[in-house]
Structure 1
């Protein structure tokens, strides 16, 4: 049902999430979402639509990586249809000294539109100790 090309494209989206977060690139991050996307943040804030996601991200991302960073790794991809995938991600948070300070377990539902995979319905969940 899936192709290696689709898996590579999905991994590239997740790599761009990491790049945009680490470099505090609001526009790059927001550009990964469908216009009508749903995003629930790690703190439980529910955002509906790219505009709301952009407004929130513009408030919280600048300065967020000053003393920390995060990495994102695709753990599992379930193709629901050839153009829809549920993507489980391992997110690791590190302090300025490179010490692991926590983990997240995002679920990204991505849809392929015009040959491009976009974040569509997403939930970011912290991993409890």
Structure 2
């Protein structure tokens, strides 16, 4: 296998993690979401709250996720992957929300999360992450 094929396989695996985030969010599956993080992960929420460690991320997610997606369908699209090392990647994501009928929900704006992922025991894990809203155009 050449380096390009190998790299594409890693990108596909990273895209799978992001698709699992989308699935967990859409279906309000707290445990599925939390399982994607390293034990010592860092998460900064869209509102700027710093969470350190999987336990803190789980406690926060258990408070905010149930009921949050009742009328929404989230969409997470990988827009760029930068391999810092072969086992560490910075992943830029486009985050949007839609109604259950498939219409864009524009009043929530878009998110532009940055996920730093590390490959642990053959599995890509969320390691250091920041969820950020897209700034309004001037």
Q: State if a TM-score over 0.5 links the two structures.
A: yes
Tell me which residue corresponds to 2:127. Answer: 120
**SS of match in other structure, 1:16:** helix
Q: How many residues align?
A: 129
Unaligned 5+ segments in structure 2 are none
Deviation at 1:3, TM superposition (A): 1.5
Deviation at 1:100, TM superposition (A): 3.0
Tell me which residue corresponds to 1:17. Answer: 21
Tell me which residue corresponds to 1:45. Answer: 49
Structure with more of its chain in strand, by fraction: 1
* Counterpart-to-counterpart distance in 1, 2:93 and 2:12: 14
Alpha carbon RMSD of aligned pairs, Å? 1.2
Deviation at 1:83, TM superposition (A): 0.3
Unaligned 5+ segments in structure 1 are none
Q: Is 1:54 matched up with 2:58?
A: yes
Q: TM-score scaled to structure 2, two decimals?
A: 0.89
Q: TM-score scaled to structure 1, two decimals?
A: 0.95
Larger Rg: 2
* Counterpart-to-counterpart distance in 2, 1:99 and 1:116: 32
1:84-95 mapped onto 2 (5 Å cutoff): 84-95=88-99
Stretches (4+) displaced over 6 A: none
* Counterpart-to-counterpart distance in 1, 2:18 and 2:27: 14
* Counterpart-to-counterpart distance in 2, 1:51 and 1:69: 26
